[in-house]
Amino acid sequence: MSTTTTSAEQTAATRSSGAIVLGDNQWGKAEVRLVRVDRAAPRHEITDVNVSSQLRGGQEATHLEGDNSRCVATDTQKNTIYAFARDGVGAIEDFAIRLGRHFVEDFEWIEGGRWEIEQYSWNRIATADGEHDHAFVRNNQETRTTVVQRDGDEVFVVSGLTDLVVLKSTGSEFHGFPRDRYTTLVETNDRILATSVTSRWRYTTTDVDFDAVYAKVRAIQLEAFATTHSLALQQTLFAMGKAVLEAVPEIAEIKFSMPNKHHFLVDLAPFGLDNPNEVFYAADRPYGLIEATVQREGAPAEPRAWATVTGFC
């Protein structure tokens, strides 16, 4: 009788002989909705954010024995977010850094954590007398984002935006792509180019005016999208990232996820009408999805900054 061990048996033996241990873990309160009204002057200011706090470290006994002596309650994390907002929120990156510093410094067993914030914008309502001092309308443009992660004394900041919907009615082409028996797409020298930009960029320092840099990066991306004569959405994406890195030395790399919001020319011939590139069908799915990282050559990678930042290549 053969005693040869198969690879499947070896794999099963390896699996069964190893001890069962706790792997990476984190815990916290997700999506804490916070609106702060600054009433220091008759002209009020609104800060509207969604904050998630997750801590890391010291949880072996909690998981293995149900010992909660080192488990900072998620409700405590929520309350801390609200309490810190009493002194103001400011730039969302600075607020997340403040939260991280508090938890790591005040609880000796906390090794680090992750603080993610989304910020929503409000515009003042215009009246016959000008902008109203305390009436607002929700701005349905992009959402500002940040993910701040802390590993001991090291802090990593990845900021960005999502749902920045942009469109060019001309100045875009797409041709020269390979064709096979499944290719039906017609080449074009003049098309609508539209996308919803999601971008995230990694800072190399926390000594930054985050509000000013955010406004600058947003404006640069919009200008590059508008002024680049596009032969492909990929080309436009790279031009946007290149422009950001050239203008902002505090950013090491920027990642994009950009769906191609297709606009197809409607055939009006059955109705006896021409269509000189004017009437389109806006398709929401399926869609092309272009993703890429634009980075400085030779810049050291920092995977800890991007850990848990999903949706990017």
Give 122's contacts (C-beta < 8 A, 6+ positions apart).
46, 48, 136, 137, 138, 139
Question: Does 234 belong to an annotated binding site?
Answer: yes
CB–CB of 145/160 below 8 Å? yes
**Is 74 designated active site?**
yes
Question: Does 140 belong to an annotated binding site?
Answer: no
Q: 62, 74, 76, 143: which one is catalytic?
A: 74
Percentages helix, strand, coil for the chain, rounded to the nearest 5? 25, 35, 40
**Is 44 designated active site?**
no
Which pair of tokens denotes residue 6? 């198969």
Question: Does 277 belong to an annotated binding site?
Answer: no
Strands (E), 77-142: 112-120, 122-127, 130-138
CB–CB of 151/111 below 8 Å? yes
**Is 262 designated active site?**
yes
Which pair of tokens denotes residue 40? 């220091």
State the DSSP code for 5: P
What value does the CA radius of gyration of the chain take, rounded to a whole number of Å? 25
Question: Does 50 belong to an annotated binding site?
Answer: no
Taking phi over 0 as left and psi of -120 to 50 as alpha, with beta for the rest, 311 belongs to: left
Question: Does 77 belong to an annotated binding site?
Answer: no
Q: 168, 255, 261, 262: which one is catalytic?
A: 262
Name the phi and psi angles at 100, rounded to 5.
-60, -45
Question: Does 75 belong to an annotated binding site?
Answer: yes
Annotated binding residues for O2: 74, 260
Annotated binding residues for urate: 74-75, 174, 191, 234, 260
Annotated binding residues: 74-75, 174, 191, 234, 260
Which residues are identified as catalytic?
29, 74, 262
Annotated binding residues for 5-hydroxyisourate: 74-75, 174, 191, 234, 260
